[in-house]
Amino acid sequence: MSEAAITLDDLTLAYDRRPAVQHVSGVFPCGSLTAIVGPNGAGKSTLLKGIVGLIRPSRGRVTCASGRAQIAYLPQQAEIDRSFPIMVGDAVAAGAWRRIGVMRAIGPDIRGQVQDALSAVGLEGFARRPVGSLSAGQFQRVLFARLLLQDASIILLDEPFNAVDQRTTADLLRLVRHWHGEQRTIIAVLHDYEQVRAHFPTTLLLARRLLEWGPTANVMTPANLHRMRGMSEDWEEAGFCLPEAHR
């Protein structure tokens, strides 16, 4: 078994003491490609935010072997403000901010990398287009180009193919496979079971608690998916709070 990239140890994440993820333990090995699957409200996005460090655990911990600076995180499109007046090229170059610093000018080397990244996502010639003028699919391509500039060893994607056309999905899945071939660790929240079965070797099934985590064929069974749906019916009425010590 390869080394751990990320380890979850009894991880519990809550909003105002209401737990959204509870007692999750396990390891994402370096170079693994994992889908997180679960019903609406299962805590999938919350789990990614906990891994990135946007939410502090109420209990347990997340350990990232290479440090959190090595994590690139793509939130759901709905959480990204597209009204900001920025050109596509600058939005992509922002992926390199750790290397160039926020206030420094973008040099020709980064400009070259931006052009390469735009070509890789099929957006050649888009560098001077305002981000606000793009379709949802084109915008998602821009965000993937920015990930290319970020060059992180761990990539977290929250519903990356939501509201994105089929062709864009196929192109971006190719990029995900390419990253996997480069031994990056990739974790993606997904709703399309066929996509998960076809492209993701490992699946983490979440329904606030961990249901199963392992090879996709063993995890995505009719019995597990049935159990998962059953669990989602329970949590709305439960609505309990964590004790003070676990806030």
Ligand X SMILES: Nc1ncnc2c1ncn2[C@@H]1O[C@H](COP(=O)(O)OP(=O)(O)OP(=O)(O)O)[C@@H](O)[C@H]1O
Find out whether 168 and 9 touch, Cβ atoms under 8 Å: no
Using CB under 6 A, count the residues that bind ligand X. Answer: 10
Stretch that binds ligand X, among 40-48, 108-116, 121-129, 218-226 (CB under 6 A): 40-48
166-200: burial string, b at 16+ Cβ within 10 Å, e else: eebbebbbebbeebbeeebbbbbbbeeeeebeebb
| Interaction between residue 160 and ligand X (CB under 6 A) | no
Q: CB 112 → ligand X: shortest distance, Å?
A: 37
Q: CB 103 → ligand X: shortest distance, Å?
A: 31
| Interaction between residue 15 and ligand X (CB under 6 A) | yes
Stretch that binds ligand X, among 3-11, 37-45, 141-149, 164-172 (CB under 6 A): 37-45
Q: CB 71 → ligand X: shortest distance, Å?
A: 18
| Interaction between residue 83 and ligand X (CB under 6 A) | no
Among 22, 34, 35, 44, binds ligand X (CB under 6 A): 44
The C-alpha atoms of residue 218 and residue 51 are separated, in whole angstroms, by 24
Among 40, 78, 81, 105, binds ligand X (CB under 6 A): 40
| Interaction between residue 150 and ligand X (CB under 6 A) | no
| Interaction between residue 192 and ligand X (CB under 6 A) | no
Residues in the site for ligand X, rule: CB under 6 A? Answer: 15, 20, 38, 40-46
